[in-house]
């Protein structure tokens, strides 16, 4: 019995036993940059792989079409915002301002670790909450090398979404059902009144 599988069938599939790492700061390989058939024309998926083999992807909104032409229907703020995210990813791959701004063309190969000379991206990783529907692993931030080294070296520094390691000694322990705290302005409904025929 022979096995015949195309190598691209393994894209986006992690090896068994390679689970999501804990929240923190990591150097990751960008292994693919694609637009899936179900994605919007301005959406790309940035697939990353951690050293333990765990793979995930993050969505990215881009200011160009599939042929690399800049979109003309974007507002200036949208265009600048999308370009800023692309620059953040490039800087996380340790490209300098002169590398980026002096390039005749920046293409997909600049992002892919397997084609860019082995450059790895530096990220803040935020794992999804286990057992909570709609909670996904995410890249909190794309970090340049200086930011990454400062955050990685600060042993007491936790990712932005993690709670401090210890609570105040006089504070009672927090009780949580795993649900997020509602935003400001959310309140309980008013008490029932006799006018509603509920209380009697």
> Residue 10: exposed, middle, or buried by beta-carbon count in 10 A (0-12, 13-18, 19+)?
exposed
pLDDT at 83: 95
SS3 annotation, 130-171: CCCCCCCCEEEEEECHHHHHHHHHCCCCCCCCCCCCCCCCCC
Instruction: Please give the residue that has the higher pLDDT: either 60 or 129.
Output: 60
Res 5: pLDDT: 81
Residues in the chain: 200
User: Is residue 164 over pLDDT 50?
Assistant: no
Query: Alpha-carbon distance 114 to 37, whole Å?
Result: 24
CA angle 72, 73, 75 (to 5 degrees): 100
Report the C-alpha gap between 42 and 64 in whole angstroms. Answer: 7
- Lowest-confidence pick of 24-28, 43-47, 137-141, 180-184: 180-184
Check residue 192 and give its pLDDT: 59
pLDDT tens per residue across span 81-99: 999 999 999 999 999 999 9
143-163 confidence digits (pLDDT tens): 999 999 999 887 444 555 544
Strands (E), the chain: 24-34, 43-49, 55-61, 121-126, 138-143
Q: Of the segments 55-59, 128-132, 133-137, which one has the largest average pLDDT value?
A: 55-59
Give the pLDDT confidence of 103-113 residue by residue, as tens digits.
999 999 999 99
pLDDT of the residue at 152:
87
**Mean pLDDT score, 19-43:** 93
Q: Where does the pLDDT of residue 185 fall: very low under 50, low under 70, confident under 90, or very high at 90 and above? A: low
Q: Tell me if the pTM is above 0.75.
A: no
Bridge partners of 33?
Answer: 46
pLDDT at residue 193, rounded to an integer: 55
Q: For residue 21, what are its two tokens?
A: 């790492």
Mean pLDDT calculated for residue range 30-59: 93
């Amino acid at each position: 019995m022979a096995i015949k599988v195309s190598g691209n069938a393994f894209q986006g599939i992690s090896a068994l036993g390679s689970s999501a790492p804990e929240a923190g700061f990591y150097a990751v390989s960008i292994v693919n940059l694609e637009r899936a058939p179900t994605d919007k024309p301005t959406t790309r998926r940035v697939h990353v792989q951690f050293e333990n083999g765990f793979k995930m992807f993050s969505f990215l909104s881009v200011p160009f079409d599939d042929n690399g032409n800049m979109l003309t229907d974007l507002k200036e703020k949208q265009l600048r915002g999308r370009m800023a995210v692309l620059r953040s990813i490039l800087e996380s791959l340790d490209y300098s301002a002169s590398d980026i701004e002096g390039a005749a063309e920046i293409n997909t190969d600049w992002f892919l670790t397997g084609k860019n000379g082995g450059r790895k991206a530096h990220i803040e990783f935020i794992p999804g909450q286990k057992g909570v529907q709609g909670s996904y692993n995410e890249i909190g931030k794309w970090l340049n090398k200086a930011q990454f080294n400062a955050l990685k070296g600060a042993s007491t520094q936790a990712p932005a979404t993690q709670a401090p390691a210890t609570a105040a000694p006089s504070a009672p322990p927090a009780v949580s059902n795993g649900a997020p705290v509602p935003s400001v302005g959310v309140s309980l409904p008013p008490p029932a009144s006799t006018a509603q025929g509920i209380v009697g």
